[in-house]
Structure 1
Amino acid sequence: MKVPDREKKVALVTGAAQGIGEAVTIALSKQGYTVAAIDNNSDKLNILVEELKSQSLNVVGFTVDVADSIAVQKVTDEIEQKIGSVEVLVNVAGVLRMGLINSLSKEDWERTFAVNSTGVFNVSQSVSKYMIERRRGSIVTVGSNAASVPRMSMAAYAASKAAATMFTKCLGLELAQYNIRCNLVSPGSTNTEMQWALWDNENGEQAVIKGSLETFKVGIPLQKIATPSDIANTVLFLISDEANHITMNNVCVDGGATLGV
C-alpha cells in the first residue's frame, strides 16, 4: 500500500503499548514511519519500543495520560521539535469500565470520558494546530461499533465512543479547508486484552460469535472476531494516498455484528 512520499514521515499513536494500538504502531513503523508511541503504561510501552528498535524500526516512546491536556501539549511540542512534523495521528487510547447504569460509579463514568472522549480532543487539538500550519495531515480515531448500537453494562464506553465519533467528524469538517482528513475506524469484538477481560471462561470467543438473546447481541455473521491487524490495515488504508478523497467517514470493522447500521 502506497503511503505519502515524504522525506521524513512521522506518526503519533496513542494507546500504543498493546492491542490495536500496538498493531497500528508496528504497521506504521514497517511502512517507514517514525512512530511517536504514546501510552500511560510505561512498562509495556518500553518493552514494545525496545522490541521494535531491535528490528531496526523507528519508534520513540512517551509515557503520557491523554486525559492530561498539559502533558499532551508538552509531548506534542517535543515530538514536533525533536522528531519531526507529525503527518499522521491515530487516536487509539481507550478504557473500558463495565457496569449497569444504576450501579456505575461516578469515577468510572468520568474516567471513561476523560480517556475515550477528552483524550481524543486533547491530542487531536494539539497535533492539528501544527497540521493546520502545514496544510496537510491525516487523523484517524479508533472508535467502536458500540457507538451506534446500545450495549448492556457498557453505557459509559458506548457513550464516550459516540462522543469521540461525532467529535472526529466535526474535526474533519473544520479541518477540510486545510487539506487535513479525519476519519474513524470502529471495531467490533477484537482479540485484545480488553476483549479477554469480558470473557468468563475459555468459551468466551465462541459466545461472542454466537451472540446473546438475553443481552440483545446478534453475534458475528462472519463467524470470527477481528484481529488487531484487521483494524491496523484499515487505518493504513485511510491514511494512504488511495484514500485521499475520504474524510469524515466511519469504517466499521466488526464482521457484520451491527448489521451494517
Structure 2
Amino acid sequence: MSAGLDGRLALVTGAGRGIGAAVVSALVEQGARVVATDLTADGVEALAGRHPDHVVARPLDVTDAAAVEALVEATERTDGPLDIAVNVAGILRGADVVELRDEDWSATFAVNADGVFHVSRAVARRMADRGRGSIVTVASNAAGVPRAGLSAYAASKAAAVMFTKCLGLEVAGRGVRCNTVSPGSTLTDMQRALWTAGDETASARRVIEGDPATYRTGIPLGRIADPADIADAVVFLASDRARHITMHDLYVDGGATLRA
C-alpha cells in the first residue's frame, strides 16, 4: 500500500549507509523528497546520484547543535518546510562497564542521545508552528533489555526513546507526532563489527540462535533483519497511515526480546 508521501520533504540523519540509506530509498519510493545527511559525504552523495530528482546530500555532524540548526534553517529556506524528520545517526562502542572509557561513553551519548535532541528540537519548533509533522527516531531493542558489553549504547538509546516520547507529549496538541522504531539485530556494518572474524554465515547463525553465556535470546523468526525491514516501519510511522499513533516504540526484532 502507498504511504502517500508524494511531495513531502524529509530530513534523514545517518543516511550514508545501512538503515539510514534504506530509509532514504524507502521514502523516495513513496514519492518523498529527502535531505540526506551524514558525517561524511560519500554515502549520501551516492544516494543523491541514484535519485537526482528526489535526494539532496548534505554533510552534518549531529553532535554540533549550531550546525544542526543552520542546516534545518537552510533546508526550509531553499527546499521548503520539513514534513518528516528521521533520526538514524548512531554509533556503537562496546565494552564491559569496568573497562569502558570515559571518551567512549561521552561519544556514544553525543551522537545517539544529544544528536537526537539537536535534530528533533530544531525541526519540532518549526513543525509545531505549522501544526503538522512527523518525527521518527531509530533506537534499538537494547534500550529495553539489558545487554552485556553494550551499556553505553543501550543507555543512550533508552535516553533517545524517552526523549522522543516526552517530545511527542509536548507537541501532540500542535499536530506533530513523535515515534520510535527499535530494531534488533540488522544486517549492517554495525552488526558485522560485533561478529568475530571468519565465517559470516556462522556468525549470523549464532545471533539467530542466541548466546546463553551473555544472557542473549535468539530470534524467534529465525532471520536477521534487513535494513529495508526497519525502513518500512519508519515510513509507516512517518506517514498519514499512522496518523493516530504517537509516543509509540515499535520493536522490529523478529521477537528477539520476547517484548520483555
TM-score by length of 1: 0.96
Structure 1 gaps, min length 5: none
Match of 2:165 among 160, 163, 169: 169
Question: 8 Å contact 2:38–2:44 — kept in the other structure?
Answer: yes
Q: C-alpha distance in 1, partners of 2:40/2:94?
A: 20
Q: C-alpha distance in 2, partners of 1:5/1:251?
A: 20
- Which letter maps to 1:188? G
Which residue number in structure 2 is paired with residue 38 of structure 1?
Answer: 37
**How many angstroms does 1:42 deviate by?**
1.3
Question: Which 4+ residue blocks in structure 1 deviate beyond 3 angstroms?
Answer: 1-6
Matched, 1:187 2:183: yes
**How many angstroms does 1:4 deviate by?**
4.8
The DSSP-based 3-state class of the residue aligned with 1:183 is: strand
**How many angstroms does 1:96 deviate by?**
0.3
Which residue number in structure 2 is paired with residue 207 of structure 1?
Answer: 206
Q: Cα deviation per residue 1:144-165 (whole Å; 9 max; x = unaligned)?
A: 0000111111000000000000
Matched, 1:113 2:109: yes
Q: C-alpha distance in 2, partners of 1:4/1:178?
A: 21
**How many angstroms does 1:2 deviate by?**
3.8
**How many angstroms does 1:240 deviate by?**
1.9
Aligned residues: 257
Which residue number in structure 2 is paired with residue 231 of structure 1?
Answer: 230
Matched, 1:144 2:140: yes
Distance 1:216 1:142, change over 3 A: same
The DSSP-based 3-state class of the residue aligned with 2:99 is: coil
Structure 2 gaps, min length 5: none
The DSSP-based 3-state class of the residue aligned with 2:111 is: helix
Question: 8 Å contact 2:5–2:27 — kept in the other structure?
Answer: no
The DSSP-based 3-state class of the residue aligned with 2:51 is: helix
Q: Report 1:70-109 matches (<5 A).
A: 70-109=66-105
The DSSP-based 3-state class of the residue aligned with 1:252 is: strand
Q: Report 1:41-60 matches (<5 A).
A: 41-53=40-52, 57-60=53-56
RMSD of Structure 2 on Structure 1 (CA): 1.1
Q: C-alpha distance in 1, partners of 2:104/2:259?
A: 30
Matched, 1:132 2:131: no
Which residue number in structure 2 is paired with residue 198 of structure 1?
Answer: 194
Q: C-alpha distance in 1, partners of 2:193/2:135?
A: 29
Q: C-alpha distance in 1, partners of 2:223/2:2?
A: 29
Which residue number in structure 1 is paired with residue 10 of structure 2?
Answer: 11
- Which letter maps to 1:129? R
Q: C-alpha distance in 1, partners of 2:65/2:191?
A: 28
Q: C-alpha distance in 2, partners of 1:58/1:76?
A: 17
Q: C-alpha distance in 2, partners of 1:63/1:13?
A: 11
- Which letter maps to 2:70? K
Q: C-alpha distance in 2, partners of 1:11/1:240?
A: 11
- Which letter maps to 1:103? E
Question: 8 Å contact 1:169–1:249 — kept in the other structure?
Answer: yes
Distance 1:142 1:5, change over 3 A: closer
Which residue number in structure 2 is paired with residue 159 of structure 1?
Answer: 155
